[in-house]
Amino acid sequence: MRMALLAMAALAGCQEQAPAAAPAVTTQAAPAGASLSPVAFQGEWNADLAACGSGASETRLIITGRDLRFYESRQTIVSSSQSSDNEISLQTMATGEGQMWTDSFRFRLSADGGSLTDVASGLVRRRCPG
């Protein structure tokens, strides 16, 4: 628990500074009730469109303004950084089985908004109709 609190404090104290030549980065903290993920990224995403709405796919991801919902877990967004209209980095906090941990995700949205790539894993999910 102490390590988790130290990690949260370190995460909260970090501020990204972009090099002079890099594009501007917009960073948001977690104000009460505010959305931390842009609307363009929100919705249900799945690697197999046939599994949309079933909740049965291990690749399912639902992005809301405040959290990420995976097949068997949910993570609360604590901050976000958007370096362009089609790329976002999210820092999350999760709890489960008596543990608390932080995670980071970077997602890239296709130009047409129909697919979402998890930059770290390369997994491509399609936007579910909705």
Is residue 19 included in any domain, yes or no? no
pLDDT attached to residue 31: 56
Is residue 37 included in any domain, yes or no? yes
Tell me: the pLDDT tens digits for 111-122? 999 999 999 999
CA distance 114 to 94: 27
Written as one letter, the residue type at 6 is L
Q: Kindly list the distances between the CA atom of residue 129 and the CA atoms of 17, 52, 64, 98, 106, in Å, as whole numbers in the listed order.
A: 37, 8, 15, 36, 23
The answer to whether residue 90 scores a pLDDT higher than 90 is yes
How many structural domains compose the chain?
A: 1
- Which residue's structure tokens are 């079933």? 54
Mean pLDDT calculated for residue range 70-98? 91
Is residue 121 included in any domain, yes or no? yes
Q: Show the domain range for 113.
A: 2-12+24-127
Q: What number of CA atoms fall less than 13 Å from residue 39's CA on the CB side?
A: 0
Is residue 17 included in any domain, yes or no? no
